[in-house]
Copies of this chain bind each other. A is one copy, B any other.
């Protein structure tokens, strides 16, 4: 299969599942009379990022990952979402963006250099495959699974099948 097959479907699966997690989280707020902004601001520890930032970051690692791998213009999205609807729209926009990539754009991208920022003052150059393995995927799944962890810890009735998008 192609490098496209190794990349785009993996992002899409979890971006879709995150949207489903948010829908279950919103329903939980309604049933339990929880203010949505409280759950969207929930964290696993006080100096960790809250739920809404986890969604924004997962979106960014997918969108920017595809852009960097294909040497496309890297999109920049302001992190303004404060409601369930807005976060689902962020995910929907990301899904739409990731779907715009064509397999041909990924041809040979696994062996091409990708230079990307690491922290405010440094950059790193890796081959596309290494960038995906060592940076884009682990960061993407990290924020996706942390989203699940925050919701689970907050009592939302979800499980790994929701994270995988197979429930």
Residues of A within 8 A of B (CB): 1, 5-6, 9-10, 13-14, 44-45, 48, 110-111, 127, 129-130, 132-135, 137-139, 141-142, 144-146, 148-149, 152-153, 155, 160, 163-164
Contact = CB atoms under 8 A, between A and B. Distances in A.
Given A134-B13, A145-B141, A6 B45 contact: no
Contacts of A48: 152
Contacts of A110: 1, 5-6
B163 A130 contact: no
Given A1-B111, A45-B153, A152-B44, A137 B146 contact: no
8 contacts: A5-B130, A13-B133, A14-B138, A45-B153, A141-B145, A142-B148, A142-B160, A145-B149
> Max chain B CB contacts within 10 Å: which of A44, A130, A133, A146?
A133
A133 B45 contact: no
A137 B141 contact: yes
Contacts of A5: 110, 129-130, 133
Given A139-B164, A145-B145, A155 B45 contact: yes
